[in-house]
Amino acid sequence: MDAFTTHTGIAVPLRRSNVDTDQIIPSEYLKRVTRSGFEDGLFAAWRRDPDFVLNLPGYAGASVLVAGPDFGTGSSREHAVWALQNYGFRAVVAPRFGDIFRANSGKSGLLAAQVDEKVVQALWDLVESDPGADVTVDLLERTVSAGTGIEAVHDSFDIDDYTRWRLLQGLDDVAVTLGHADHITAYESRRPAWKPATLPVRVAD
Partner 1 sequence: MGRTLAEKVWDEHVVRSAEDEPDLLFIDLHLVHEVTSPQAFDGLRQASRPVRRPDLTIATEDHNIPTVDVDQPIADPVSRTQVETLRRNCEEFGVRLHPLGDVDQGIVHIIGPQLGLTQPGMTVVCGDSHTSTHGAFGALAFGIGTSEVEHVLATQTLTQARPRTMAVTVEGDLPAGVSAKDLVLTLIAQVGTGGGQGYVVEYRGEAIRSMSMEARMTICNMSIEWGAKAGLIAPDETTFAYLQGRPHAPQDQDWDAAVRHWRSLITDDDAQFDHEVVLHAQDVAPFVTWGTNPGQGVPLSSSVPFPEDFADANERVSATRALEYMDLQAGTPMRDIGVDTVFVGSCTNGRIEDLRTVADIVRGRRVADSTRMLVVPGSARVRLEAEAEGLDVVFKDAGAEWRGAGCSMCLGMNPDTLAVGERCASTSNRNFEGRQGKGGRTHLVSPQVAASTAVLGHLAAPADLPTPASV
Q: How long, in residues, is the chain?
A: 205
Contact indicator for 22, 30 with CB cutoff of 8 Å: no
Only one of the segments 128-136, 141-149, 151-159, 186-194 lies at the binding site for partner 1 (rule: CB under 8 A); that segment is 186-194
Phi, psi of 126 (to 5 degrees): -65, -50
Angle, helix 99-108 to helix 161-169, in steps of 10 degrees? 30
Nearer to partner 1, 32 or 154 (CB): 32
Check binding of 178 to partner 1 (CB under 8 A).
Answer: yes
| Kind of pairing between the strands at 111-114 and 91-94 | parallel
Binding string, residues 8-47; x marks residues near partner 1 by CB under 8 A: -------xxxx-x-xx--xxx-xxxxxx---------x--
Q: Minimal CA–CA distance to 59: which of 71, 47, 45?
A: 47
Nearer to partner 1, 21 or 136 (CB): 21
Q: How far is the CB of 23 from partner 1 (least distance, A)?
A: 6
Residues 87-146 that bind partner 1 (CB under 8 A): 96, 98-100, 103-104, 107-108
CA separation for the pair 142, 165 (Å, rounded)? 12
DSSP, collapsed to helix, strand or coil, labels residue 131 as coil
How many residues of this chain bind partner 1 (CB under 8 A)?
62
For residue 43, the tally of other CB atoms under 10 A from its CB is 22
Residues lying near partner 1 in the complex (CB under 8 A) = 15-18, 20, 22-23, 26-28, 30-35, 45, 68-70, 73-79, 81, 96, 98-100, 103-104, 107-108, 160-162, 173-174, 177-178, 180-181, 183-184, 187-188, 191-199, 201-204
